[in-house]
Each structure stands twice: as C-alpha cells, then as structure tokens.
Structure 1
Amino acid sequence: MKVYSKKSVQHINASIEECWAFFSNPRNLQKITPQTMGFQITDFDNRNMYAGQIIQYKVSPLFGIKLSWVTEITIVKENEYFIDEQRFGPYAMWHHKHFFEPVENGVKMTDIVHYAIPFGFIGRIANALIVKNKIKEIFEYREQIVNQIFNAK
C-alpha cells in the first residue's frame, strides 16, 4: 500500500484560544469544506472535540456519489494539536494531524495528512489523476475561508 502525504501551513491572525475554539468545534468542519464535496455531518455528540470522539459524515468527493465517512478524534492536546483518523470511509488510510503554534501576530497552523487509496495500482492511478488534486483543492479552499474568517480583520 502506497501512503501519500499533504502538508499545509497557514498563518492565522487570532489568539491560540480563538483558533482552538474554532477548529476544535466539529460544527465548523462544514464551513471550511468546499460545497462541491457535499459534506454533511450525520452524527456526533454535539460536544467540542475530545479523544475518542466519533464523527460520521456523508461526502460526495467524485461525481456526486454519496459516501459514508467515519472519523475518530484519537488525540487532543488543547491549544496545541489534535489528530483525526478515518475508521470507515473512502480511503484505505487517513491520518490527519492539526498543529497550532502561537507566533508573533497570531497562530501558525500546520496540517499534515497521510493517506492511502484502496485498489492497489488502480488506486495509485486515481491518486495521480484525481485524489491528490482534490485534496489540494480542499486545502486551498479551507485556506481561503480561514483567511476570510480570521485574516480579513
């Protein structure tokens, strides 16, 4: 199984507490996900993020096909980082680390995703042609929205 990675770094003009309050609230996921993904939380316990939390979604990453996706928040260190991992969904593996570091004039947010596509050779072709570009688009969209929310002040 081939594992791919994507890293994204963004400066946010906010305090670490403001940043954490936004990103640790699962309800905000839909705000920072492109509408074209058809992202919809279908089940979670209406609590801010904690280790062991299960969040269920529907997504339509390609051709409008609805897929179920279940992630678990595996590790949380308040105001510093959290990790979400896919338990069921479109990837053979999904491990997403979110880091928040106070810096001059705000917060440096770093995301590191490791993922694998199912279906062996066909999955590698799908990643090269479609998936890696889709993930790149998602992070670019998120950067734009986060800029609108925090950096347009």
Structure 2
Amino acid sequence: MPVIKIETRIKGDVKVVFDLARSIDFHLISTSGSKERAIAGKTSGLIEEGESVTWRAKHLGVYQNLTSKVTLLQRPNYFVDEMQSGAFKSFKHEHFFEQKENYVIMIDIFTYHTPLGWLGKLADFMFLKKYMYQFLESRNRILKSFVESGEWKNSLPNFAN
C-alpha cells in the first residue's frame, strides 16, 4: 500500500489555509492542468463532512471520473476525504493543519491501493507514485502562493474564512 506524505509551510492563518484546502472553487484553480471539473455532488463552495464531489479530469492522458467523500472534518485542524468510486481500488487523503506563530504546517498523507493486481503494482513502481506526488505537491505550492500573496481574496471573492 503506497503512502505519500508532503509537508508544506505556509505563512498565514490556519483557518484560511484549511478552508482553501477544502474549497471546490480553489481546487478547480489549483488543478487546471488536468482540466478538472466538479460534475456532481458538491460542485462549489466549501465541502463539509458527509458531502461528496465527483470530479472529471484528464490524468495520464485519459479522462476519468472520481468521486470522493469527506468522512471526517475538524475545522481548522484536520479533514479526510476518501474515494467512493474511481480509477484507484481505494484511497484515503488525510489533511493536517497546525498554526505555528505566523505560519501553518500543512501535512498531506495520501494512502492508496492500485487496481489490477501486479499490473497496478508495476504501474505504481514505474510512474504512478511519482505522478501522484507531483500532482499533490503542485496543488500545495499553488495553495501556498495564493495564501502568502493574498491572491485568494481576488480570485475567490465569495470565499469566506
């Protein structure tokens, strides 16, 4: 079972970072490279515990749908989203947030199982884990930039923290 852990330090307020991390609208901005769209469930605003969203995106050259559900949320320190349907056999994405003076430590722990038995394990070894790490790290880099520059105030005018 592969596990990806990423720690990001962000100058800002934990409530802003937490809410951006669960914002459907920010997710669309931060994943524009994969042409993600929210097509069902919660399609705008802040996703809450018990809510799900279905994304349509192009990953590794293939369009696919993925539905995830927020299974636990403790604002502003922790939330979990878990795959309900999609290309993985399963995944669990834990998001941790901790305020330290004037910055936030944001930790992502992404645990997943690939489908297709040994073929899935081979794909994971060859490219999938690296691809997923880069995807998550890129999203975190954009979130950090939005918070530290204050760009979230202009790009997401209806965002309330």
Identify whether the pair has TM-score above 0.5, normalized to the shorter chain. yes
Q: Distance in 1 between matches of 2:19 and 2:84?
A: 25
Letter in 1 for 2:46: N
1:12 corresponds to which residue?
Answer: 10
Distance 1:147 1:19, change over 3 A: closer
Which of 23, 26, 29 is equivalent to 2:27?
A: 29
After TM superposition, the score normalised by the length of structure 2 is 0.86
Runs of 4+, deviation exceeding 3 Å:
none
Q: How many residues align?
A: 149
2:126 corresponds to which residue?
Answer: 129
2:88–2:113 CA contact under 8 A, matched in 1: yes
- Once the two structures are TM-superposed, the CA of residue 34 in structure 1 deviates from its matched residue by 5.2
Q: Distance in 2 between matches of 1:152 and 1:48?
A: 21
Deviations 1:49-105 (A, max 9, x none): 211101001121112x21110001100001011000000001001100001101122
Q: Distance in 1 between matches of 2:140 and 2:18?
A: 16
- Once the two structures are TM-superposed, the CA of residue 112 in structure 1 deviates from its matched residue by 0.2
Please tell me the root mean square deviation across aligned C-alpha atoms, in Å.
1.5
1:34–1:138 CA contact under 8 A, matched in 2: no
1:13–1:106 CA contact under 8 A, matched in 2: yes
Unmatched 5+ stretches in structure 2:
151-161
Unmatched 5+ stretches in structure 1:
none
Q: Distance in 1 between matches of 2:148 and 2:122?
A: 37
1:102 corresponds to which residue?
Answer: 99
Instruction: Kindly indicate whether residue 58 of structure 2 is the aligned counterpart of residue 55 of structure 1.
Output: no
